[in-house]
Amino acid sequence: MKSFLKKIVSKNIFKIYYILVEFLIALFYGFPGKQLRIIGITGTKGKSSVVYLASKVFEASGYKVGATSSIEFKLGKKTSVNKTKMTMPGRIVLQKFLRECVKQKMDYVILEITSEGLYQNRQKFINFETALFTNLFPEHIESHGSYENYKKAKGLLFKTLKGKGNAIINTSYNESAYFLNFPAKEKHTFKSTDKLPFKTHLIGDFNKENVLAVYNLARFYKIKKEIIKNALDKIKFIPGRLDPIDMGQDFKVYVDYAHMPAALERVLQALKSQILHPIVGQTNAKKVKNQKLIAIIGSQGSNRDKWKRPEMGRIAVEYADIVIITNEDPYKDNPWQIIEDIYRGAEKIQNFKKQTKVIKILDREFAIKKAIDAAEKNDIVLISGKGREPWMETAKGKIPWSDAKIAEK
């Protein structure tokens, strides 16, 4: 019914509808978004990680912090896993959360902000003190219509600043100029190539970029370098992001949320170039002879970004020695069709890269078992697509799920 209405009703009417609904909900909760110091994190990759790390740093500085991301909901010391399968909460959940932040006297609230949420005006009636841009890659093109529309949707967060809020921009990407054009009280920039003044336990250059974003945000808020360093040093991994499964085995297993091509490539690059559990910025990690990288990949159903399916297959085969294509979140789509769509991309590369083995397994639990059984000493197994999500979306609805628990078994 909703999709039918979208076809016959103009986009402008939908925008007015979204704003009206947002106003009524914000009114019901007493406009909590205007009573808090709120930081919005947007971009394509790294948003959840930046929110997670930033909340730890601000907390270490003595502040009470509220935060929402695809990882968790945080109210001070109390956290709960995000089970909504929505990166940015729906308007009712978000306004209710902000009201609770007011009630519990949070000093800062850090929110992960999505393009879809911005397009639906969930940011309305929220005063953002600071907006941070991480990066931009093609994503959600089918829902936005084009990459340009996707970029403009992201820009709506910076539009809300109206010259009164602050902008922190990663200028390593060409699109950064677009976000820098929005009026802001103060503008602060950084680059992914900037040198970190300390090391962390997090794997990969993409995590260096995330840490740099957090570092620049924290320094903008006058948090001391030593506090930032000590807070981040306590973090061995980010839940669901290259999240290690250690049962005493002599090979490494990671679960990761990477469910889009750019994210998958970043993760596979990090694992391919690192043998031992490395430090961000380390370039001389020892190579282990005959080490294999085994990757489990999948893709979502429900007509979500179908274009990405062959791309996921192509990228996996470029980096991994064994690729297992399996079920992820099929919704009402035929899961075998999704697997075949992914395989088409893998097959093109496999024809040239003969040494990569590609296996199709419908049962995700069996796929995880197969990958772990194939692993030998010093190998790396990546279980991608779901991270720490507690559900799988199927034609029969949600079913309880945990990649981590299956891997531990």
pLDDT of residue 278: 45
Dump pLDDT digits (tens) for 172-208: 999 999 999 999 999 999 999 999 999 999 999 999 9
Among 176, 177, 184, 387, smallest CA distance to 267 is for 387
Per-residue pLDDT reduced to its tens digit, 360-373: 999 999 999 999 99
Query: Which residue reads 């799988």 in tokens?
Result: 392
Tokens 């979140």, located at residue: 329
Report the alpha-carbon distance of residue 373 to residue 288 in Å, rounded: 20
pTM comes to: 0.90
Contact between 318 and 349 under an 8 Å Cβ cutoff? The reply is yes
Domains in the chain, CATH or no CATH each = 2-233 (3.40.1190.10), 243-408 (3.90.190.20)
Quick one: which of 335, 393, 402 has its CA closest to 365? 402
Indicate whether 351 pLDDT > 70: no
Q: Which of 5-14, 117-126, 249-258 has the lowest mean pLDDT?
A: 5-14
CA 141 to the chain's CA centroid = 17
pLDDT band with cut points at 50, 70 and 90 for residue 382:
very high
Q: 322 to each of 113, 353, 358, how far by Cα in Å?
A: 35, 12, 6
Q: Give the residue from 113, 110, 98, 105 showing the smallest Cα distance to 57.
A: 110
pLDDT, residue 352, reads 62
CA distances (Å), origin 132, targets 126, 144, 184, 222, 320 = 15, 21, 12, 16, 33
Residue 142 scores a pLDDT above 90: no
